[in-house]
Amino acid sequence: METELKLTADTGDDVPNKKAKVEENQNVETFNEMKTDEDGTIEASKLSKRQIKKLRKLAEWEIKKKEKRLKEREKYRQKKLEALEKGEPRTGPSRKELKRNKAAESKNFLKVAVDLDYDDLMIDKDIGKCVKQLLRIYTINRRSLAPAKLYFTGIKKDGKIHKSLAKNDGYENWDVQWAFNKTYHEILSKNDILYLTSDSDNVLETLEKNTVYVIGGIVDHNHQKGLCMDRAQKLGLRTARLPLSEHIDMKTRTVLSTVHVFEILLKVSEGISWTKTLLEVLPMRKGAKPKEYTSSFNGDKDSDIEEFDKNDTIIQTEEN
């Protein structure tokens, strides 16, 4: 049921003419603070001036957001037309090509499930960050020449993650296997599951065709230490960590964001070496450098170093 605002009291506040900058987490926070009647309506007499002002800004932003998207689309169309007139080659796949690029028809064997059963453990700000990472994962996968099969699992129906997802028009049509109110171990065979966590003693050296790699979809700034590992152990699941220390040296902790873990798996599944992948994907703040290998180290690490050219452009992606 949509919430209706009844302005029955004079607040004396005018809506500012300047551009409203309302973050998604502020919107959710505002509604959480409000008291509603049994019919779902909100009386202004029950709201503070600050809450009413936020509601007005939110309503104004919803209108401006649509106008902004229309302008962005028109700007994109103009850029495409200008590029065609200049005879410039296409820099990426066309929309038709992307629509045909389905995971079900992909030659890539990789299967990745994001465990989103952490709805109650994240504050509204981190819920927004989590959903943004899901959007980036979907975008990266969709633009891949060989997309992986994606599962977004454990989403609570009408929960915070679900409501945040719903703000993205057409998310239901993403090339993703959705699991609402069902976890990854309820829709997948436990024998096929491998939970990726930095707390595991097992090192992921190669990707297996019959394995579904589970990534914890939680943004908590390392407040919930060992949470993913604890969940996996209670369910009797296999666990492993990415081979970071085996291939690179880092200045910071080895806990990575969900989107970075997925991008690493995708690139390695495409045949790119661990070293080259890690140096391309990890953000600059991690201070990643190629590992100094010794002859006693097992594995094809010399070829990894040769494959990575220090003069190559390193793609850096920042994500908190």
- Catalytic annotation, residues: 220
Please list, in sequence order, all residues whose beta carbon lies within 8 angstroms of the beta carbon of residue 40, skipping any fewer than 6 positions away: 1, 2, 3, 4
Q: What is residue 149's three-state secondary structure? A: strand
Write the DSSP string, 95-162. Answer: HHHHHH--GGG-S---EEEEE---GGGS-HHHHHHHHHHHHHHHHHHHTSSSPPEEEEEEEPTTSHHH
Distance CA 260, CA 279 (A): 11
Write the DSSP string, 65-96. Answer: HHHHHHHHHHHHHHHHHHHHHTTPPPSS--HH
Contact between residue 268 and residue 213 where contact means Cβ atoms under 8 Å apart: no
Instruction: State both tokens at 291.
Output: 């590992």
Q: What is residue 250's three-state secondary structure? A: coil
Distances (CA, A) of 69 to 132, 174, 252: 17, 19, 38
Distances (CA, A) of 42 to 1, 7, 158: 12, 9, 20
Q: What is residue 249's three-state secondary structure? A: strand
Query: How do beta strands 41-43 and 238-240 pair?
Result: unpaired
Nearest-CA neighbor of 215 among 256, 167, 158, 177?
256
The type of residue at 28 is V
End-to-end CA distance of the chain: 34
